[in-house]
Every structure is written in structure tokens, then in C-alpha cells.
Amino acid sequence: MNKFVISIGRQPGSGGKEIAERLAERLNIKVYDKTLLEVAARESGIDTTVFEQADEQEVSGLFGGWFSIHGSMGDYIPGNNYMGNNKLFEIQSEAIRDIAENESCIIVGRCAEYVLRDHPAMLSVFITADYDDRIERVMKQEGLGQEKAAEFIEKSDKRRRSYHDYYATTRWGEAKCYDLCINSSRMGVEGSVELLYRFIKEYFEK
């Protein structure tokens, strides 16, 4: 296969990150999640913590928040030591496009399916799961009780939806906005990886 990109959106507690990592192993390609922030920081000269502060956070207001800048790009905005969320998104998006141009990869979240909407070989996937399964997974992963896990999911869903829908013209988690949607509760993590692997092989070899 020639170079291709898989963008994976995911609900908290759906197992989306684990599925992405295992799928990347099967395909022998890299997966970019938090590592994408490191790439954006390295290419821009801005401290990684600035991107982490803005990473898939709820966005509101005209400018979507401002973040303190440290490092070689401290005066990026003339006369100001702060950078708007929108500018950080632009820098991150450029890092996504650079990665997609140079290698086959999986990119998790960060509006990648929107940023790469014109990429000639991009498959967009969204992973969901039944609510009870999401609760159980978050309880195990975060060490939370059931009530706190439910709060975690509610806040995370709101944050990711707000971030995505602020920047993209598509809607986070809406089936028609993706090439493929998977409920990981139906086949489990391994079954979902196998399904995606076979689909990808056929999709990009057609």
C-alpha cells in the first residue's frame, strides 16, 4: 500500500486509544496521540506544556482562551506573552499535515479527520461503546467509583465535543461525518482491531 492515514475519534471509555495502539502494531505504523503535541512543540519552538493546556479542552468565547508561551517563540505575538487557542490549533494542524504527508500513521483525536479532509488517502473512524462498558473501563483506568466515572465521562464528552465542533464544520461523534463507526462493545478491543485491520487493507488496496 502507498502512504495512508487513519484518523480515530473516540468516546472516553470506548477503548479507542488501546484499539489505535494495537492497530498501529498490526499495520507496523506509528500512532500519534499525545506525541502529536510534542511534534507541534518541536516544530514551532513552543513549550510542550502550552499545547497540553489547550489539548482537546472545552472552547468558549471568541478567542477560545489564551495560554502563556515559554521558550524560543515567547514573542510570537508582538508585544504579548500569550497565544490564543486558535493559533495553537493552526500550529498543531500544520504538524498533522506534515506527518500525514511523510508517513503512514494513525492520528487519535485533535480534529484530524477535519484537518486532513483533503488528504487523498485518509480513512476517518469513530469508536464508541455502550455506556455501561464505558463506565466500567473508566473505573478501572482512572481508579474511580461508579459515580465519579460517570462524571468523568460526562465532562470528557462535553470537552471533546466542544473542542471538535469549535474548529470543525463536522459534528463530533455523528456517524455521517466519518467513513466508519464502530461500537467496541460488540466485538471487544481485539475484535475491533481485527475488523479495522481487514477493512483498511481492503479499503486502501481497492
What is the rounded average pLDDT of the residues 42-57?
Answer: 68
pLDDT score of 62 = 37
Q: Which of 40, 5, 11 is nearest to 164 (CA)?
A: 11
pLDDT tens string 127-154: 999 999 999 999 999 999 999 999 999 9
Mean pLDDT score of the chain: 85
Residue 28 pLDDT > 90: yes
Supply the pTM of this predicted model.
0.83
Burial of 27 (0-12, 13-18, 19+ CB in 10 A): buried
CATH for the 5-205 domain, from 3.40.50.300, 3.40.190.10, 3.30.70.120, 3.20.20.70: 3.40.50.300
Residue 65 pLDDT > 50: no
Cell of residue 205, nine digits = 488496496
Cell of residue 22, nine digits = 494495537
Residue 81 pLDDT > 60: no
- The domain locations on the chain are 5-205
Range with top average pLDDT, 30-44, 54-68, 175-189: 175-189
